[in-house]
Amino acid sequence: MLSSAKISRTILGGAIFFLLAACGYSQEEWDQKVRENSALTAQVAAQEKTNAKCAADYATASSELDGLKLKFQERGEDLEQQKQANAEYKKRAEQLEQIRARFELLREKLKKLTDLGLKVQVRDNRMLIQLPGNVLFDSGKDTLKPTGLEILGQVATVLRSDADLSAREFQVAGHTDSKPLTSSAYKDNWGLSAMRARSVLAYLTTPIDKQGGGLERTHWSAAGYADTDPVAGNDTDEGREQNRRVELVVLPNVEEMLNLNSLAK
């Protein structure tokens, strides 16, 4: 007798046979279709895997590209900032060169005064003409001596004959040594230095027809510094003599307000 399992397989095989026969396929053809379907399924799975990897690679590449774009943007901004900084530096260098040229021209013009035995120098960021006090005044006095009037007349001629110099702003600065005044109408060195500066200022700005220097008074001012701005020690006669002086300070224009000491080197 046949077992129930064998009977079932026989019936199933017969059913498949009749099904294949009904569809027009043989067993071999059916098996071929199954293999083709399996191959296609495998290909689809492989393609999906490949697509997933491509998508991941694309996402990674996009992220890297965004990073590169950001870096290039930052680098571009840095380059633009560097470009602007270079342009500003070049502009500043040109301005400094123009100021240096004007400074050298001014110093060359004032060089005429050195031929008179006067000292023209840059000190404390100011260009100035130094006039020895003993040439201008007697000890403890504010009245100009004949030698003082003569040297100031020569200074006024140099300044007045040059359009650029005559248009500059000047300050007359009076200075003394540190020895206190014992008895004087000036009360102290502040008063003496201020009155000496005033005497020089008054002469330089007095019209020529009134025996003055003929300089434009609106360009001049005066100040007294007493012994607060010495150029030498006050412990020797020689040092005190250097400190007793009057200076004609060339006041800088706004565009010249930089360290003239660096230009003077």
Total domains present in the chain: 1
CA atoms within 13 A on the CB side of 58: 6
pLDDT higher than threshold 50 for residue 237: yes
What gap in Å lies between CA 174 and CA 196, rounded to an integer? 6
- pTM given for the model: 0.62
Q: Does residue 64 fall inside a structural domain? A: no
Q: Which residues pair with 174 in a beta bridge?
A: 224, 246
Per-residue pLDDT at 2: 46
Nearest residue to 221 (alpha-carbon basis) of 186, 255, 171, 260: 171
Q: Does residue 205 fall inside a structural domain? A: yes
**pLDDT confidence bin for 172, thresholds 50/70/90:** very high
Mean pLDDT for the chain overall: 81
* Ranges 87-91, 140-144, 174-178: which has the least confidence: 87-91
Q: Does residue 75 fall inside a structural domain? A: no
Q: Does residue 215 fall inside a structural domain? A: yes
pLDDT higher than threshold 80 for residue 135: yes
User: Domain span at residue 259?
Assistant: 109-263
For 136-156, the pLDDT digits (tens) are 999 889 999 999 999 999 999
Q: Does residue 259 fall inside a structural domain? A: yes
Phi, psi values for residue 144, rounded to 5°: -70, 135
Q: Does residue 20 fall inside a structural domain? A: no
Q: Does residue 114 fall inside a structural domain? A: yes
Q: Pick the more confident residue, 39 or 126.
A: 126
Q: Does residue 80 fall inside a structural domain? A: no
What are the Cα distances from residue 87, in Å, to 79, 81, 158, 199? 12, 10, 40, 50
Here the CATH number for the domain that contains residue 234 is: 3.30.1330.60
Nearest residue to 169 (alpha-carbon basis) of 132, 131, 146, 201: 201
Strand-by-strand arrangement of the 169-175 sheet? 119-123, 126-132, 245-251, 169-175, 220-224
